[in-house]
Amino acid sequence: MLTNTFEVLDKRFTRYAMGNVHKELLHSGTRWAEGPAYFPAGKYLLWSDIPNDRVLRYDETDGSVSVFMQNHGNHNGHTVDREGRLVSCEHRGRRVSRVEVDGSVTTLAAHYKGKRLNSPNDVVVKSDGSIWFTDPTYGIDSEYEGDRAESEIGASNVYRIDPDTGGVDAVATDFVKPNGLAFSPDESLLYIADTGASHVENGPRHIRRFKVKKGRKLSGGEVFATCTVGLFDGFRVDEHGNIWTSAGDGVHCYTPDGDLIGKILTGEVVANVEFGGIKRNRLYICATTTLQVVYLNTRAARRP
């Protein structure tokens, strides 16, 4: 018997939503929870509280929450690279940075063609070490999530950092406000959200799907799914290629064919999700003021 955590829209969803499982509240008190990243070696999750300019840490071993970073750069999206290092999108820092194994912080990207980035929002690392990130203006639109400023670039693009040269190339330049992004399990596809409806009346509230060419360029880019409640922000892909995405009323689950098959209802607007736990079958959910988690009968996509 499924709990009221889940809403089944298609019977295919019942393969992933288990009976008697319910969402758990792990923490409350954030202003805008975002950027979850799970560290298997340490058994903890980091996530951002953007307006409070802090990164929090949830310890899976004892359930405690502590402050990992504060007054650093209004961090938004995070990911963990192949070497287990934290890669961060900083609003106020207006850069993509990395915490090295000795604890020092390295700037990976701060400019494009000599102009400052807007405010990197979300990031993913491909198996070849390349780093792909989105750069909308949310962190420079107000003083709430960063420092208000005009865009130097004058556009909100998607970029790739080359693993060999460190060079920053624009891989998509036709977004209004690119946001969350994730690769398909075999990395042949890249999904990218556009939350442009926040700035443009009847603007985009969808996820687009691109083909990845030679590991470094994108083609295609058709609309994969349009959000039915609120906006798609961050999302993750599971081992079956399903997309578990943030939305206005919880987490929406889409099949690789683009069918919305079910929801996890959270009671608050969701900004991002991350698979954690030793088996990577716990979906951590950043839902505005709360961090929630739910067990699923699926796991994070394995990296190639």
Shortest Å distance, C-beta 20 to Mg ion: 32
- Pair 24, 294: CB distance under 8 Å: yes
Distance set, CA 62 to CA 26, 44, 57, 277, 290 (Å): 11, 10, 12, 13, 18
Which letter does DSSP use for residue 301 in this model? P
Amino acid in the structure at residue 227: C
- 74, 137, 157, 179: residue in contact with Mg ion (rule CB under 5 A): 179
Query: Toward Mg ion, which CB reaches closer, 121 or 281?
Result: 121
Site size toward Mg ion, by CB under 5 A: 5
Shortest Å distance, C-beta 233 to Mg ion: 4
Query: Toward Mg ion, which CB reaches closer, 81 or 233?
Result: 233
Tokens describing residue 159? 């970029």
- Please compute Rg for the chain using Cα positions: 18
Query: Toward Mg ion, which CB reaches closer, 118 or 121?
Result: 121
Give the count of beta carbons closer than 10 Å to the beta carbon of residue 262.
24
Length of the chain equals 304
Shortest Å distance, C-beta 93 to Mg ion: 16
Q: Does 145 sit near Mg ion (CB under 5 A)?
A: no
* Residue span binding Mg ion (CB under 5 A) among the ranges 184-192, 230-238, 261-269, 291-299: 230-238
Query: Toward Mg ion, which CB reaches closer, 17 or 124?
Result: 124
Shortest Å distance, C-beta 169 to Mg ion: 21
Query: Toward Mg ion, which CB reaches closer, 53 or 60?
Result: 53
Tokens describing residue 145? 């999530």
Burial of 6 (0-12, 13-18, 19+ CB in 10 A): buried
| Binding residues among 112-131 for Mg ion as defined by CB under 5 A | 121-122
Which letter does DSSP use for residue 231 in this model? -
Q: Does 233 sit near Mg ion (CB under 5 A)?
A: yes
Judged by the rule CB under 5 A, the positions of this chain that interact with Mg ion are 121-122, 179, 233-234
